[in-house]
Amino acid sequence: MTLAPLPFDPPVPVPLPTPPLDFPPLFRSALTHPSAAAESRPPLPDNQRLEYLGDAVLGILSAEALYHLHPDWPEGALTKARSHLINETALAAVARAIALPPHILLGRGETAQGGRDKNAILADALEALFAALWLETGPDATRAVFRSWFASAIDSIPGGTREDNPKGLLQERCQAAGAPPPSYTVLSCEGPSHAPVWRVAVHLGDRLLAEAEGPGKHAAETAAARLALLSLP
């Protein structure tokens, strides 16, 4: 069996080869389903052990991201958001978004049964891939890849309660007053790639309501909205 190159370009140095070379062994294992390993001669190591580690890696990365992005959320809201972010369906969606399915090695039977479209197989492969990234590149590089691949999913996470959503509350206040919706502008993004600091301004028309910083664009917008709510009558 040969492996095609993955179609992604991680934002940090990751030891993935360029065509026509094969993947390093750990990445090959991460993308090898047990059905393919069982049919290979000589046998290939499958991704089950890496899946075990990757589950923990994604757990800590998602928990860390949510902890910093939402400093006012209680434990229950953070736990619910983490489940929303890394459940099987969510992981499969990320795998599809980075075009991972064609690069997963499956046995003939699993391939015939449409295995590359099964959420469980895609989620397992993504978990295993994050384990390989963690072992080969370390926490900082893996964290950067996580923030890139999961950015849209993180931004779409609903708040744990109505009070957890300052942006939504600010928009409601503006609508109730007959004003246009608030607008957010990125002023700067500084610092290293694994720990950026975003600064955002929120305006109501031409009026500056507030400026705030955060470890991500969403966090900075949320902090700015919270300050803006305090400034409104």
Residue with tokens 């047990």, as numbered in its chain? 34
End-to-end Cα spacing for the chain: 67
Active site residue 51: no
Best CA proximity match to 127, nearest among 221, 81, 61: 61
Task: Quickly count helices (H) and strands (E) in the chain.
Answer: 11, 3
Active site residue 190: no
Tokens of 29: 């294992």
Q: How far apart are CA 127 and CA 104, in angstroms?
A: 13
Best CA proximity match to 105, nearest among 125, 128, 135: 125
| CB-based contact 129:27 (threshold 8 Å) | yes
- Counted residue by residue, the chain has a size of 233
| CB-based contact 11:148 (threshold 8 Å) | yes
Choice among 55, 88, 136, 211 that is catalytic: 55
Q: How far apart are CA 198 and CA 219, in angstroms?
A: 8
Q: How far apart are CA 75 and CA 1, in angstroms?
A: 46
Residue with tokens 């996470």, as numbered in its chain? 157
Choice among 46, 51, 124, 127 that is catalytic: 127
By annotation, the residues acting in catalysis are: 55, 127
